[in-house]
Homo-oligomer: A and B are copies of this chain.
């Protein structure tokens, strides 16, 4: 923690994140997470109390990465929307596992309250940004446009190759391009 190294806890969270991307939440095993970091499985419980807590921490980690795509506040709305969608497309291309993990978490959130809390908070922020942009752009129904963007992004999450094709259709204000 003093230097650039990660804390044990952060190492574990990242290892769990990678494992979820590879094997799904269903295939997440504490033993493998611990082994990946090079510690015993029982020692893991010393840093993360329970498996549920680890999953929640993975959700926080994912939310933090997603927040990266928020457009800078100083940009005019049209440019901000473009910047946001570009950042999204970039992130999908460079870190496709992140979106695999969020897809897993969206399903888990239906049954795990602590995961749901994290997912809902992140999505509320995203929703606020988008409606703000579409309102500033003078869209007739900013809420509807917002939900279309969110749905489209969530829908292409598992097929990164198609993301640019889909995202390109969401940027144009007149929705004709």
Binding site for B on A (CB under 8 A): 23-27, 100, 103-104, 106-108, 110-111, 143-145, 147-148, 150-156, 158, 162, 165-166, 168-169, 174-176
Contacts and interface: CB of A to CB of B under 8 A. Distances in A.
A141 to B, nearest CB: 8
B24 A107 contact: yes
B147 A166 contact: yes
23 contacts: A23-B111, A24-B110, A24-B111, A25-B26, A27-B111, A103-B107, A104-B107, A107-B107, A143-B165, A144-B165, A147-B165, A147-B166, A148-B152, A150-B155, A151-B151, A151-B152, A151-B154, A152-B152, A152-B155, A154-B155, A155-B155, A175-B175, A176-B176
Most chain B Cβ neighbours within 10 Å, of A152, A162, A165:
A152
A138 to B, nearest CB: 13
Contacts of A106: 103, 158
Majority DSSP secondary structure for residues of A touching B: helix
Nearest to A103: B107
A145 B169 CA distance: 8
Contacts of A148: 152, 166, 169
Nearest to A174: B176
Contacts of A168: 144
A92 to B, nearest CB: 12
Contacts of A147: 156, 162, 165-166
Contact of A151 (B23, B145, B156, B174): B156
Nearest to A26: B26
